[in-house]
Structure 1
Amino acid sequence: MATTRKRWRWLKIVILTPACLVLVIGVCFWLWGEDRVNLGGTTYAIDAARILADLEKGQSDVFVRPAASDIYPEETETPVMWDEMDYLRVAQAAQERAWDDADYLRVSQVAQASIRESPLGTWRLTSMMFGFDCEYFDRGFQAAWLHYFQNVRTSRLFGARLESEVVVYPSEGRVFVNKNLYIPRLGTWKEIDLMAMETAAEDALAIAEEAGGREIRLGVRNACDGVVRFAPDLQAEHWMVEYYRRSEDLISPKTLATFFVSSRTGAVERVGKP
């Protein structure tokens, strides 16, 4: 009888201890939450006509810090003919240039913990969005927003997550990189597997055009703008292509049409078709 009670006692310990641990961790997560700390932003001037060729040659002096009075220049209205991979190449190089040893030292200071591994070279793409101007539709994308992250181990329990937000405006000759730190790291974001994608951003736009986008664009005489976005945390494996009526209301412009295009098969679906 005593042996049976001991067995039940040990069984309760085995079952309840992990359950209590999970409960405690869950409560801590709920009460604690992640803190987002901005580590600053950097603006670079680029030569849109040469930067792709210069990067191909391995040149590292393609990003220049402009004078404070020249950070927001007048738009040159010179459209480029860049595709998805061109923007990714520029964005990756820019954010690697923007993060330096001083940033990682500050990460350690803010997190009050030392980084156990070098984060260099471990940036992961988690979302991308490309903008087009219907007036210059044949030229392709005229802006891009790329979102990178990396999880780093620290001497503290939960580690940290670094975030790099890159905005590329070739027509203005500017690249913006914003840097954030999340501590403690209680979660992560999904990484985009570019190798698994059969449909590029420009392909998704072409498919949406054939599915009704061209009709909508011409129906407003190209007085519209649009975006092609891929974010696995929001839309799984689909590109989202949206057309907006051109308006002074930049916060909530009127949506003309939305298409979802599979990044694997190219299958398209129009949402909210009139």
Structure 2
Amino acid sequence: MNNKAEYLQFRTSLFQELDAARASFDLYRHLVKQLDESTDIYLEALPFFELTVHSLSRTALAILTNVFEMRPGENKGSNKLNNNQGCEPKKSKAKTIHKFLSGLDSNHKNIFQEDKLKPDYECIKKLVKEHQKLIEEHADTIQTLMHRRDKYFAHHDSKYFNNPNLLDEKATIFNSQFLALIDLGNRILNAYPGGPLTMYAPIKKGYKEALDKLFFKVKEYNKELAPTVPVEKITIPKYEWDFELLERLKVKQSDVNSSPKE
């Protein structure tokens, strides 16, 4: 990040990744909610919905992890993130929010040297330090994201490959933690020069409306045919992080599985 063009591109690209993570997360959560309310539809297309739920959740997790991924020494203000790595610092070409802040801190004069109205350099350096400390407050969440990605999604750790449910016990992520990290990235990137960046995912309802229309049409189709959906055990998508909405499905699964057969 040696000039203004590189800075703006870096900033915009990171923001687009955050927006994509939020969109995948929102659609994942909306789909699980629809399945929770429409068990009959879920059973009719079980393989498709299981694959879709897995894909959306893993996409959201992978994108957000890549944005906040921490290598030893990359965040000078993060003792916990650096110490938890347990290895020697390695050079990484990954484009992360840590690299963005570090580059801005060390190279801000070159980045803004051609600006007629130059920003307050001392203010930028102070702001970078504040943001690094804010990231440190989310160190546990970032470590958990990296653990889930590296031990099961990106590579198959034998411990989790043979017992995927253990991942939920050892590395649980909740909605509030996931959204808080996205919000933090949004606030950090918008705090620096370059114009406002608007996160479209929370206000873009097109993908949710399309999903709602799909479920509505299937429900209407089922009403016309009056199909008999066989009573069977519901197989809930497994190996996902512990979202509250997924917990509601697990409760429904337990109720159905424990009910006596006629």
Instruction: Name the TM tier (shorter chain).
Output: under 0.3
Return the TM-score normalized by structure 2: 0.23
Q: Over alpha carbons, which structure has the higher Rg?
A: 1
- Higher RCO, Cα 8 Å, sep 6+: 2
Report the structure, 1 or 2, having the larger strand content.
1
Report the structure, 1 or 2, having the larger helix content.
2
Return the TM-score normalized by structure 1: 0.23
